[in-house]
Amino acid sequence: GFKDVTLNEDAVRKKIVRKKEAIAKKQLQAAVKEDLKTVALGTSKINYMDPRITIAWCKRNDVPIEKIFNKSLLAKFAWAMEVEPTFVF
């Protein structure tokens, strides 16, 4: 009777808590995965792409260079800023 209902309620409550914890863990994993995507893209942009290509593309397509490179990269690639929009690697 009544004791069985109480045990079931406790078991259900514990399951709810575990499911909420699992959801929180999955949300955290998804957020970390999303954050790491930008890290990989940023690394490629810095290490593997000639900044003159990116800057020329921005100039050809009227895209502000600040949308692509942050302030520190703008300073690092100052030497490439004078590239013509027609630059081809």
> Catalytic site residues?
48
Amino acid residing at 18:
R
Amino acid residing at 82:
E
Amino acid residing at 43:
T
The neighbour count for residue 8, using CB atoms within 10 Å, is 10
CB 29, CB 57: distance < 8 Å = no
